[in-house]
């Protein structure tokens, strides 16, 4: 009987498919979604995908950057057990929460949907929630000079209206760390009107240049201050805040 030949070919094709580089993104994504649906889960671990998926997890990780990204694109929840969420990602979530509260978040506030990750994720990664906060503060306090120690090679020029050039020692962009440091320094309170998310829900804080960068102001702590969105947008106008 000539039956095994075709079966072998089939298997062989299947193996080749796994490593195909030109599989469209949508096909990869759909397959992860199918696995999630099949398992009836809101998230899929790498191991679960390896067992149930059509492609090799590495193919997806390489294509999209990380398994976390894969889940994000699929609209699935980040799985906590096997997934290695980076510290940076956890810090950036914590930073957003801290800024929106205007203070150190409490353990029971670290939950979905307000937080992208549960407090348990932080505990797993750092040992305890308190240690997570400590690492975060240490991380954010680090490198405060990063945006001002640029050497002359990074001096940027911008042209103003009189066509003369302004030499800057710093970049215009305020790094996340520096922004957070200024917010901390200013007590998460608008320097103009005194509003703060600490006592008023939904107040959005910005960190802005005092002397505009376009007028030669540098991106350094002395030239940065905290403003609420309203005061920041009303800058330069006769804008009156309701108090």
Asked if 205 is part of the footprint of Zn ion (rule: CB under 5 A), the reply reads no
Asked if 231 is part of the footprint of Zn ion (rule: CB under 5 A), the reply reads yes
Residues 204 and 190: their CA atoms lie apart, in Å, by 9
In the complex with Zn ion, which residue's Cβ is closer, 140 or 193? 193
Asked if 90 is part of the footprint of Zn ion (rule: CB under 5 A), the reply reads no
Angle CA 189–140–86, to nearest 5: 125
Asked if 192 is part of the footprint of Zn ion (rule: CB under 5 A), the reply reads yes
Q: How far is CA 46 from CA 50, 89, 134, in A?
A: 6, 19, 30
Asked if 186 is part of the footprint of Zn ion (rule: CB under 5 A), the reply reads no
Q: How far is CA 120 from CA 128, 137, 139, in A?
A: 9, 19, 20
CB of 200 to Zn ion, least distance (A): 10
In the complex with Zn ion, which residue's Cβ is closer, 116 or 227? 227
In the complex with Zn ion, which residue's Cβ is closer, 99 or 193? 193
Q: Which of 99, 183, 203, 228 binds Zn ion (CB under 5 A)?
A: 228
Which part of the chain contacts Zn ion (CB under 5 A), choosing from 19-27, 90-98, 136-144, 222-230?
222-230
Site residues for Zn ion, 137-166, by CB under 5 A, read none
Site residues for Zn ion, 23-52, by CB under 5 A, read none
CB of 227 to Zn ion, least distance (A): 6
Asked if 190 is part of the footprint of Zn ion (rule: CB under 5 A), the reply reads yes
Please report where in the chains the tokens 């960068």 appear, as a residue: 213
Helix (H) or strand (E) holding 129: helix 129-141
Residues 145 and 164: their CA atoms lie apart, in Å, by 28
Residue 124, judged by CB atoms within 10 A of its CB (0-12, 13-18, 19+), counts as middle
What are the residues binding Zn ion (CB under 5 A)? 190, 192-193, 228, 231
């Amino acid at each position: 009987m000539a039956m095994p030949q075709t079966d072998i070919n089939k298997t062989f094709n299947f193996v080749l498919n796994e490593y195909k580089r030109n599989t469209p993104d949508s096909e990869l994504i759909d397959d992860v979604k199918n696995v999630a649906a099949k398992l009836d889960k809101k998230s899929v671990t790498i191991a679960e995908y390896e067992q149930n998926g059509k492609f090799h997890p590495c193919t997806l990780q390489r294509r999209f950057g990380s398994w976390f990204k894969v889940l994000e694109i699929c609209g699935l929840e980040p799985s906590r057990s096997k997934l290695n969420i980076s510290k940076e990602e956890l810090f950036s979530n914590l930073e957003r929460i801290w800024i929106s509260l205007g203070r150190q978040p409490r353990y029971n506030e670290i939950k979905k949907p307000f937080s992208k990750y549960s407090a348990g994720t932080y505990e797993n990664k750092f040992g305890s929630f308190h240690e997570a906060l400590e690492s975060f503060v240490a991380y954010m306090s680090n490198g405060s000079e990063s945006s001002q120690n640029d050497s002359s090679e990074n001096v940027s020029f911008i042209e103003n209206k009189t066509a003369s050039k302004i030499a800057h020692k710093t970049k215009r962009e305020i790094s996340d760390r520096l922004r957070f440091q200024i917010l901390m320094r200013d007590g998460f309170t608008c320097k103009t009107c005194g509003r703060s998310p600490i006592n008023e829900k939904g107040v959005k804080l910005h960190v802005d240049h005092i002397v505009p960068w376009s007028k030669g102001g540098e991106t350094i702590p002395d030239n940065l201050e905290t403003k609420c969105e309203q005061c920041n947008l009303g800058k330069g106008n006769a804008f009156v805040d309701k108090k």
